[in-house]
Amino acid sequence: MPTFLIREFVDLLTPYVTAIVNSALSQGRLSESHKLAIVSPRLKKPGLETADMANVRPVSNLLFLSKVVERATAQQLNDHITKNSLLPRCQSTYRRHHSTETAMLCVVSDTMTAADSRRDNTGPAFDFVDHQLLLQRLYSRKTAACSVAFYDV
């Protein structure tokens, strides 16, 4: 069914769409007709040669009901995970109101807490760094705008 028809008759079709979504979720499967996608070729960058298949990527457009079931499933799963606190405290990926900034704040907070309690939180990974190579790479990338102080390690 075309999406424009669903939009036009949304009030009339909502109970039927809801029944289809609930059926898919309760059975734990999607009917074969809803697993179809319309695949269209798209150029990777404008101006590339259209005859060369290396310049084209496939784009799959799911059918309307597939998208609705997918969103309902994602919402229910996210609600369950959040309600039951199943994600680690510092997990920022795929979480609402979390970002790279919240992940960095967690790392900084843990580092400061460890420093305050005089624990070594650098971990053993730092022991495996080739310090000479690290200093050499830092020196080679040094620019006039950024001066780096080097110390013997």
Nearest to 17 by CA among 69, 63, 60: 69
- Judge whether residue 22 has pLDDT over 50: yes
The residue ranking higher by pLDDT, 66 or 115, is 66
Most confident of 3-7, 28-32, 79-83, 148-152: 79-83
Instruction: Calculate mean pLDDT across residues 48-61.
Output: 89
CA atoms within 13 A on the CB side of 130: 4
Is the Cα torsion angle 77, 81, 84, 86 positive or negative in sign?
A: positive
Q: pLDDT band for 121, please (50, 70, 90 cuts).
A: low
User: Greater confidence, 98 or 49?
Assistant: 49
pLDDT at 104 (0 to 100): 84
Whether pLDDT at 35 is above 60: yes
pLDDT in the model for residue 150 = 42
In b/e form, how buried is each residue of 75-88, taking b as 16+ CB within 10 angstroms? eeeeeeeeeeeeee
